[in-house]
Structure 1
Amino acid sequence: MFEGSIESLLAAQSAASYNFLNVAIAFLLTFFQGLILVYVYQRLFSGPLLQRNFSATILLVGLITTGLITAINGNLSLSLGMVGALSIVRFRTPVKDPIDLIFIFGSIANGVTNAVSLFLLSSITTVTISIVALYLVSSLNKRFKAVLVIRGDIDIEAYNPFDQHRNINGQLKSAQKYGDIVEQVYELETDQKNLELLKDNLKKLGYDFDLASIK
């Protein structure tokens, strides 16, 4: 009896036909929402920080997710097969910036919600992500002044922490040597995005540093 119920359920699902109008709307809406996310991403990451391949990834992930969820929606056998397939998949590509995950999950969320015809929810998701991300753009691009103190085995005459960061205006205020350790004090003007790049570079070089904003 139990086996017969499962067989009848699978047979009914296999015979189910898709609403091609909803499928077309889902793909079109996912595509346009992906374009919006790509635009916001390109506003957030400009110049050398922009990964053009990642822009294409944002767009394609949503479309692939829409097709995938449409295929397995309401189909028990395909759903179970997909769970088994995804359980053995390993993604080893490193994410260079944590905010990249926001755009990836946003694109996936749009693909899933559009595939099940929750068009209003996907639109709200896209608008929310875009507004928050654009707010981050304005806050990251806001310049401010800060004091940077660097300590380490530094060549005072040759080392300049701003050689690779032309968007940071830095001025050396003092330099003192304590044994093998040199302490340099800089006053700088920058924005949050370039400051994070400078901090990452100092960490890679193994220097100890302190930062304090100037009110």
Structure 2
Amino acid sequence: MRTLYARMAQLPPQLRMFMEDCPPELAAKRDRINCRQIVTRNVLALAAGVTRTACWHLAPEIPGCRDRLNMMGFLFGKLALLDYDGTGLTRRHPPADTFALLAACLDGTSHVRRIDVGGRPDLYAFEVSRAGRGPLQVLWAAGDVFTGEDGPGVPVDWPWPHPTVHGLDAFGSRVPSNGTAAPCASAPRSHRCSSPPARRQYPGPEEMPGASGDAGERGRMGNQREAAGHACGSGG
């Protein structure tokens, strides 16, 4: 660990972002990656038949503990959801807001099913069935975890049988979508969803839109790439 810190300036950013005193822009990127992977990994696990997940780790065990030479801290310390403010465990890191948003969106989930998207092997799409609530759909496109957010967003045309559409990304921000009129009353609408800027302010839990839905509504919450946040959804 001492050797790593002695060579910190020469290390690749994918490693430096887990180290103490890394540049603020790398710390922010690490948080965005963590937010996206909280969504993707939980949804993949639920679609594979897992019925309960937990996010580790929640917070440091004691306040004020910072040991840059500790191997466990190096591996996992920067992924904590919470931190101490003095002696109170009240400081939320951005991934804590994503975890709370995901938990709210998945509340009442009975089944998660992957949707076959045919000629789009890069696209991951899932339908979430929730007791007493409308289904939720989660979409993202495969991309490089570290550099994917630096590229342009990937538009997605998606059939949608409802009159309105609402989308959230993994950070709780609204995703723009454009609906096109259906050719006939019985045909589903098609919506094109475009990726928002990857860097944005993280909302607090009281500001999170779309964290709950009424029965009969449908929504999608997720991220457009593993490295570029995006989601589309609908609500009545």
Higher CA-based Rg: 1
TM-score (norm 1): 0.30
Q: Which structure has greater helix proportion? A: 1
TM-score (norm 2): 0.28
